[in-house]
Structure 1
């Protein structure tokens, strides 16, 4: 029986986006004035992808809560998981923000073109910006007065509140009734993910328009700044994985390096697809075989896909500073801490599908109010390169979180883990975890 023919390389989305970017760069150099007019392609793609924000958040958060099962049985595992998620997510946001401030990310683009179109766009954005709300107004605005209105208005924080309340209401139903609702939501969610996939097919056009406009309007300075952004983001992600998560693993009594070798197949799947969702089914099985109890795997891993997105957190905080510096918008430390507080909430809505982090980041930049949304077009041009690291970091972070919380809660079998190491990595792995 012959195997299925391999998909031609030119049909791969990564190849298409890279090719579109290269064509856009060349076009921007050859005909800068004409290239600048192709900004509309990037804008159209951004409008389409923004339509996915509210439903994406709703389905992801509700699924994360519903996956916990009976709320009365969550107990120590659920509470410990939430504490871990919040601490590590906050640390990831702080690393992105601290690293961005340390290297002054994006400032070269603004310094090289102080009178460019980016500065004009920044001035227009600041002019349209609204006065910052008081704390009480901000808190009051989080709570919706209309279920549909929150979705129609793209009010991300209100959608999050609705999603959390709906998820707990779903858990309050009797099992047989809840199963029917969950099944319906899962079916709609599957259809919605296909909707997102259709939009993502337009990514090459969006990338071409964004890069052609960026190069045509700003020249080589923007390319150097974007290349530097991608490189510095990878540095931040590697630091987080091997230093922060490595330290967490060591404190919990196991080796991150050996654990990565155990889940290397899943890591490469995610790296190739730029979607952490692609490895979820395999990880659910593999982590249970590794020694984590079924309850801890079923609770921590899927919930982490909604509430513990470390790569997304680093991406969002670093890129906010990039936009601010690139467009010459000063952000005080008080404002940066306020942005972290907002991102602690909004980052929980980033879906585990390719493009989800960018969607939520776009919504967050819009919600902040004093940053030019035109910067999103620049970032989208290199998002595909960054999304591979985002998804990989998210996957590794949630896999580590599952083992850590399981060990912390007494839901882990050291003997079973050692047996899996020996089975998968060979007898040389008979040393302690």
Structure 2
């Protein structure tokens, strides 16, 4: 892997369901393993750095392992919740996948919400989750390196493993490390991230604000003698012209029901109802936000350009995003190939090296993106 100034890594999204507008039942396709296999082959052959594996019904580690033989170069980034596997078992899984794939596994470290982890039987208060996670990943790395002495901590106890040919014995060859990617925005989350991760991720924001966040996190890592890379997540509408791109954005907005828009917007209202949310209480003085709220309260969707929060950066059917209270997972880059490439280079200048992209339908848009965008960027494969 190179570290050229200006070079970027572009990852795609490997998930089901799929479809033109999968956030709406009418725009969602039924998908199966055959569809995931076709999608993985496209991501691999087109030259994407790898793919984020969506969380949901399918287990990410299982999907990654199942698709190894269908691909030859792409990396797989499945989510891993600490505590769902023994760290020793996860080390065994990682060693197997790394050997069989030629080192194409990445881990997306997810500490999750309290309710999510509780559903899996893991119960830790918010800040304690990070203490447990740090201990978990330290134990995982020690086992994966081949250490076999007893590991005893506050949350974990692994007995000394026999130095024989058993499944938990030290690996016979030097293991290929699995890079750790992940996020964390709270003070406890950032402290956890800077001591553990190789690549720190954040939802999209304006280039300046995202760059400032990454600079703060990077400085904390450097104080520990560590150096992080940074990445973000965008949906994507790239077309030969601006007019075509924004016409498609408007079409996606019109295919979104008012009920879905209200539901998606609710994630960004800090627990308030649509009627009860007052932007001024959060120091937000943007007439576009007021227009969005007024449209939803009147039973309409906002105008497409009222959702543009930076040149070519669009909050999409999620409707609000970072101009209301926080970064949003549904943020889009929208525009001509030249303008989208310019935005990516702008984000790169603010420290973003890794871009996790998606557009629906996933296979069709993966091809379109590779055709239009790849020739305009310095790509790190």
Greater strand fraction, Structure 1 or Structure 2 = 2
Same fold (TM over 0.5): no
Greater helix fraction, Structure 1 or Structure 2 = 1
The answer to which structure, 1 or 2, has the higher relative contact order (CA under 8 A, 6+ apart) is 1
Using structure 2 for the length normalisation, give the TM-score.
Answer: 0.28
Using structure 1 for the length normalisation, give the TM-score.
Answer: 0.26
